[in-house]
Amino acid sequence: MPVNLSGRNFLKLLDFTTEEIEYLIKLSKEFKNLKLTNTPHKYLAGKNIVLLFEKTSTRTRCSFEVAGRDLGMGVTYLDPGSSQMGKKESIEDTARVLGRMYDGIEYRGFAQSIVEELAENAGVPVWNGLTTEFHPTQMLADMLTIEENFGRLKGLNFVFMGDAGNNVGNSLMVVCAKLGVNFTACGPAKQMPNPELVEECKKLAAEHGSTVTLTEDVEAATKGAHVIYTDIWVSMGEPDSVWEERIKLLSPYQVNAKVMANADPEAIFMHCLPSFHDLKTTIGKDIYDKFGLKEMEVSDEVFESKQSKVFDEAENRMHTIKAVMYATLK
């Protein structure tokens, strides 16, 4: 049967079937082609969306704004200081107000329960731009990028290095399980995904002919891997005080030339960004001054290598977010 996502929320990929996720990836390719050929596609002219940000962003904000305008929509951005949500106005009331004015609502912030409550009360599609638990729009961009490089997804070996228990690690495990990609989380036991989510994903993976593996062994995990992926060691919203502990825990899981050499000869490197691969950021300089580290989760050599697909991945955020908005609003 044809896939119809009109009116649906986009909160986490556990809510979607494999066929629905594949449809969104296919639709993203079509929108990417329209963008790259300068073909107008204002298919949602007359609609308006609001971007509700409690956590700042470069890629997520720009992707939603450009994608929305490409589709012909009006776009309103509310930064952390421009909304009364949770302060003077409840999440429920905020949802009911914005749902009367806008055709769709994006939320980027903290607990998954917040975006779920927005969706329950808005009466219009709500999209998760990132919560503490999940980052579903990033996943579509990641899978599109992988498919562009290998021509397929099913059967590939995917390794996430480092803090596998964060929102990106959780979401990657889910999407890999849904799409038949072998997923390995490689990091310290303390930073692994929630055991209940792991068990759910292992069942999903078995249904789609793939596996979910958790390990602390870098050499075993990365042997023959097609995709090596990492993220920063301290997530947004976490206190600076955790840096010292995370550096001790996660330094053995840095993605460097040795790791990439152990992977498949055609392996690619991916990162959701931003990345601390040099000293050109305030945080990077601060960490170097305190701990003597010039590079953190990935070496500059790997980040700048031909195997690195991080900027293709970043661009694909826009195309995939456009697909999500179009599919749910058309």
- For 219, other C-beta atoms within 10 Å of its C-beta total 11
| 151 and 236 co-located in one domain | yes
| 144 and 65 co-located in one domain | no
Query: pLDDT, tens digit, for every residue of 250-309?
Result: 999 999 999 999 999 999 999 999 999 999 999 999 999 999 999 999 999 999 999 999
| 17 and 99 co-located in one domain | yes
Whether 307 is a known active-site residue: answer no
Q: How confident is the model at residue 167 (pLDDT cuts 50, 70, 90)?
A: very high
Task: Answer yes or no: is 287 within a domain.
Answer: yes
Looking at residue 266, its pLDDT comes to: 98
Q: How confident is the model at residue 83 (pLDDT cuts 50, 70, 90)?
A: confident
Task: Answer yes or no: is 215 within a domain.
Answer: yes
Helix axes 167-179, 195-207, angle to 10 degrees: 20
Task: Answer yes or no: is 88 within a domain.
Answer: yes
| 39 and 172 co-located in one domain | no
Query: pLDDT, tens digit, for every residue of 173-197?
Result: 999 999 999 999 999 999 999 999 9
Identify the active-site residue in 61, 226, 317, 319.
317
Over pLDDT 90: what percentage of the chain? 94
52's tokens: 């509700």
| 294 and 278 Cβ atoms separated by less than 8 Å | yes
Looking at residue 86, its pLDDT comes to: 77
User: What DSSP state is assigned to residue 279?
Assistant: S
| 66 and 182 co-located in one domain | no
- Looking at the predicted structure, is the pLDDT value of residue 82 above 90? no
Query: pLDDT, tens digit, for every residue of 189-222?
Result: 999 999 999 999 999 999 999 999 999 999 999 9
Identify the active-site residue in 8, 61, 108, 246.
108
Task: Write down the mean pLDDT value for the chain.
Answer: 96
Burial class (CB in 10 A: 0-12, 13-18, 19+), 59: buried
Q: How far apart are CA 59 and CA 256, in angstroms?
A: 25
Task: Please report, in angstroms and rounded to a whole number, the separation of the first and last CA atoms in the chain.
Answer: 18
Whether 138 is a known active-site residue: answer yes
| 118 and 147 co-located in one domain | no
Task: Answer yes or no: is 7 within a domain.
Answer: no
Whether 41 is a known active-site residue: answer no
Domain boundaries, position 97: 13-134+316-329
| 183 and 251 co-located in one domain | yes
Task: Answer yes or no: is 227 within a domain.
Answer: yes
Whether 84 is a known active-site residue: answer no
| 227 and 211 co-located in one domain | yes
Identify the active-site residue in 226, 231, 254, 271.
231
| 234 and 262 co-located in one domain | yes
| 32 and 78 co-located in one domain | yes
167's tokens: 């929102």
Identify the active-site residue in 8, 59, 61, 135.
135
CATH of the domain at 127: 3.40.50.1370
pTM of the model: 0.97
Looking at residue 241, its pLDDT comes to: 87
Identify the active-site residue in 70, 138, 142, 226.
138
Task: Answer yes or no: is 230 within a domain.
Answer: yes
Task: Answer yes or no: is 20 within a domain.
Answer: yes
Query: pLDDT, tens digit, for every residue of 17-72?
Result: 999 999 999 999 999 999 999 999 999 999 999 999 999 999 999 999 999 999 99
Q: How far apart are CA 178 and CA 13, in angstroms?
A: 9
Name the helix (H) or strand (E) containing 52. Answer: strand 48-53
Cis preceding-peptide flag for 274 (omega within 30 of 0) = yes
Whether 317 is a known active-site residue: answer yes
Short-list 244, 235, 305, CA closest to 277 = 305
Looking at residue 24, its pLDDT comes to: 98
Q: How far apart are CA 13 and CA 137, in angstroms?
A: 9
| 153 and 79 co-located in one domain | no
| 91 and 108 co-located in one domain | yes
User: What DSSP state is assigned to residue 107?
Assistant: E
Looking at residue 275, its pLDDT comes to: 98
How many structural domains is the chain composed of? 2
